[in-house]
Structure 1
């Protein structure tokens, strides 16, 4: 078994010396294809800055405030719930990240090993919808932030500018995304820390530590919100580790990702909690931060504007890779490159702009409900993917079969995975708590949504016991091939 405690066993590359690395191009050339050894680059610590910088953003700030605003927890109760949720949810997120250097392909492509080349489309379509929705909601936030800083710029104009900024980052690709998050780690991290300090030094309300209280149901609900924030990264986290050399040890990848993501998101969640208690009358949490921070408020808004544009590039990048994966499913001999990424980026950009501009007044609240539903169908995928990688196949896959029209040894459909997946969704329904649907067991739990936990606990063992006897691991020779770029000549776009 491979995992945080060691690198994948039986991998022929585990003991190889690093291959000669070509200088990576400024604009990323690859999309969903396998990254060959000679193009691998970067250091494990880049994953820490990648996920720390990404998580210093308005959305985790807003989500962190909900423990106080929605579930009426006290400061200390909310802090404890946030920490528990982040530390638990981050485990699954980081385990996905550790797959990247071993396989060198995007997460959605690797899902074909569990579900089959056609069966995996269920997951890819859901992931694409989530990314497009996240992208559209974030450009609405960018438009409103820019309008707040410069009232002469209309909200719709700000939406367009924010979307174009994210699109440029997405088109340049992997290297620029990592570089910007290195900058964000220091600039945004310092900025939000100073912002919290300013809010505290300007004086907290007398009831700051006594407002609210502890209810087990409200505390569980806050834990769930915190954990789901981490779990939402699962479908694309390994996309940003896939260029690292295969010689990178799995524990190093895990801990760099886990530390960066948990620390960054915890800082933002805690900032949201502080602001919610320090400025309870604010229209929204970001505006409350601006007000509570006094003269430092406009600086916070500028930093958040940069953060939204930077973070949103990941949503567009994930949407593009997912949509390209859908297209490649029906064109097995197509290897899309940067031109394809540019065309698909432009298409997503136009669609998201039309949606965001058309419903900008109420889009974010609508999208929160949509994401809640999408996460329900992604939770069982997380369990199946991790069990398959670490316990069933143990990191050994036939890479060329990922791109075969018939799915090779993985086939078009995998009934075991799909059956486990459907079961994982069904068992969650009684515990789901959203505006669109509320399960019958939510009320006895005081409104807490524990569907994600039930989905993980049920799906993981079911898939393991169903899949293990039926799995034929690649022959050692096939495992060796799995580490190389697919050996065939294909047209590029």
Structure 2
């Protein structure tokens, strides 16, 4: 490692939510591939995959097909968001001001914060379960707190250390996952139960939807990492590096989870992992997964901190968040996430499944609006400086058209929802098949494009006080 790389690795990141200057741009598609491979190398990915053959009761082969299909579809949208980072050089949720206005974007920013903190807490719960599978007498609360502390140290340094840690996780946990797969394929329990289960279109479509939302759940922060890549040459590498890294790793570990669910349906997923691999490799796998989840959790809090700073900056005219503000925000969110993890340690699987379902319905309209606006309406051309103007510049404070499409994009999904706590009339007619995500995606994208072509103010929501003055950020 060069001296420059070492200095970057262990230096506190000074950039926060401002545009990344040209002299700070670095990275490649290969590095992004490693980052997103590492991001999914967590027990949470395995546990989510296990829902296909446990909660949804699918046989292994249909479960595997649903996992592959869902991630392949969702990964396209997620990677298209990642390709925006090198061009604009700003966090993904700040770029939402281009569609919703400076203050209107706060709606999706708050949703993103809730999502990131939810995933952070979920990872803490599953990390704790991994350690307790090794040391049953260990204190789960102490493990959760220790994992949160490790995440905070990494997140405090910022982008470069987070990137390196997730790269290491990709190789270490990837090797452990291969060992786990080999052990799984060598167990008679797997082959004896590989056809067990009952295929249903509702279960199959639910697992496809989980794959889609798993990928789109990353969409609100993929640009937070690709924004450091070179502007002129980074978009293509950002797309493929993010797509392949995220899809390959998530499919690999969810297939592992589905297989574990087949072999030991009566055991908690991480305990079953230990039973499959044997005492030595089982403990090694669980320990590696727990460390990777704790370290990789820094990604969730890093990005939620950027969202938090974006939210606060909206109401503090001329405020430029510094490193100390990022670290303070990170500390606050770590505490909140740890408290949620401590409270949600019981009945985790069912509550997490419901969390994923709700998350999907909220993310779909935002993703559709953002992608249509970026690729079809503005062709990637934004006045980034206007994002930091109190008035919102040419984008205004509120874009009522985009917000209306977003709300309607959620509403039109309601009849098609099929969850543990609610099933819409259309879903019941379809036999429990959940296509709400597809309805929301198509409606939101088509409606927003049609409005932008018919109503000029939907594209340029110019505030009366907007001027061409340079924001304090750029001075």
Task: Please give the TM-score of this superposition, normalised by the length of structure 1.
Answer: 0.88
2:386 maps to what in 1?
401
Shift of 1:216: 2.7
2:404 maps to what in 1?
419
The question of 1:305 aligning with 2:305 is answered no
1:182 maps to what in 2?
167
The question of 1:263 aligning with 2:248 is answered yes
- 1:163 counterpart (143, 148, 152): 148
For the 8 Å contact 2:43–2:130, the answer to whether it is kept is no
- 2:364 counterpart (367, 372, 379): 379
The whole-number CA distance in structure 2 between the counterparts of 1:368 and 1:213 is: 20
1:129 maps to what in 2?
114
SS at match of 1:332: coil
1:12 maps to what in 2?
none
The whole-number CA distance in structure 2 between the counterparts of 1:48 and 1:407 is: 34
The whole-number CA distance in structure 1 between the counterparts of 2:390 and 2:369 is: 23
- 1:453 counterpart (408, 431, 438): 438
The whole-number CA distance in structure 1 between the counterparts of 2:46 and 2:202 is: 22
**Structure 1 unaligned runs (5+)?**
1-20, 475-481
Distance verdict in 2 for CA 1:46–1:267, change over 3 Å: same
The whole-number CA distance in structure 2 between the counterparts of 1:321 and 1:470 is: 32
Shift of 1:423: 1.4
Q: Deviations over 1:347-366 (max 9, x none)?
A: 12222233332443345643
The question of 1:291 aligning with 2:275 is answered yes
The whole-number CA distance in structure 2 between the counterparts of 1:442 and 1:419 is: 24
The whole-number CA distance in structure 1 between the counterparts of 2:37 and 2:25 is: 22
Shift of 1:213: 4.2
1:10 maps to what in 2?
none
The whole-number CA distance in structure 1 between the counterparts of 2:223 and 2:401 is: 24
The whole-number CA distance in structure 1 between the counterparts of 2:341 and 2:201 is: 37
The whole-number CA distance in structure 2 between the counterparts of 1:364 and 1:275 is: 15
2:463 maps to what in 1?
none
Moved over 6 A (4+): none
The question of 1:70 aligning with 2:37 is answered no
The aligned runs of 1:64-463 (5 Å cut-off) are: 64-151=49-136, 153-282=138-267, 284-295=268-279, 296-362=281-347, 365-463=350-448
Q: How many residues align?
A: 461
Distance verdict in 2 for CA 1:471–1:35, change over 3 Å: farther
2:464 maps to what in 1?
none
For the 8 Å contact 2:125–2:341, the answer to whether it is kept is yes
Task: Please give the TM-score of this superposition, normalised by the length of structure 2.
Answer: 0.91
